[in-house]
Structure 1
């Protein structure tokens, strides 16, 4: 199955303290989808100063285009509708 279209609504990411990540909605071929990015990835690659919600959101918003580019690639490669971006996903991408 190949993915034809991935869209990212400009929603404010939701913070999940149990999983230490931010989650955002997406749309894959017209179906609802979700992607999350770990606090570790935001600290390692996008300058988040801590695991605090405000620091993570600031780093996310400052690099949203780069994050969504990698999310798009992962949605396209996997055809999944729920993905989690870890630090390793960005090692060579950004």
Structure 2
């Protein structure tokens, strides 16, 4: 499975308090997102407002993409990263 991430900035979803980003899996786009709670808990966002969430996403982008790739490899589908996905060291133990 070939996974890479577009350089596009994430899109803020205020209704669901998520930041959406696109992974390309074997050349096909796949919508992925991370919750505001995860960005607050693990990447230092001080609030669920758009600007702090964007800054936190940028700071944690490498880890967010790494965890997202592991979940895609396990599920093959769209991903919503909740806070619990980041609790284990390097998120090695991902459970559904």
TM-score, length-scaled by structure 2: 0.90
Gaps of 5+ in 1: none
Detail structure 1 runs of 4+ shifted over 4 Å in the superposition.
none
Structure 1 distance, partners of 2:36, 2:16, is 9
Q: Which runs of 5+ in 2 are unaligned?
A: 91-96
Secondary structure of 1:10's partner?
coil
2:85 to 68, 85, 89: 89
Could you say which structure has the greater relative contact order, defined with CA pairs below 8 angstroms and 6 or more residues apart?
1
Q: Compute the RMSD of aligned alpha carbons.
A: 0.8
Q: How many residues align?
A: 90
User: TM-score, normalized by length of structure 1?
Assistant: 0.92
